Amino acid sequence: TTAASLERFTVNFTITTLPYTSDLENPDSARFRATRRVMNMMLDRLLKESSIGPVFQGCETTDFRYGPGSDRDQTRVDAVCTYSKEPAAAPLDRVGLYHQVSNKTRGITQLGPYSLDKDSLYVNG
């Protein structure tokens, strides 16, 4: 039997209630580290409750960017998530996962204490 391989997918969204500041550019800043820790925890919790929960490994927030255009009232979040894929398993159903994330974030409006731009969620592209 072939062992499961670790597969990655990306999750991107915009938080409308987290103003972008320059310390979010610096992975060594306290604000970057604290915000990344909170995002990772919330994404992990959300995806563990989804259909990929049993094979889900975790998410790592990789980047914070300012909102659409040069809107610094909002912060875009980029994360890379990992799951264990059995050789015979179907490919990641990113559309289904998108809909599950949408449902779990109240129509892409809320992630924990944060408000989201409802048109900003992307799962793997």
pLDDT digits (tens, 9 = 90+) for 21-80: 999 999 999 999 999 999 999 999 999 999 999 999 999 999 999 977 778 899 999 999
Write out the two tokens for 19.
């103003």
CA angle, residues 120, 83, 36, in degrees to nearest 5: 50
* CATH code, domain with 23: 3.30.70.960
From its phi and psi, is residue 51 left (phi > 0), alpha (psi between -120 and 50) or beta?
Answer: alpha
Write down the pTM of the prediction.
Answer: 0.91
Range of the domain at 109: 5-124
| Total domains in the fold of the chain | 1
C-beta of residue 10 within 8 angstroms of C-beta of residue 79: yes
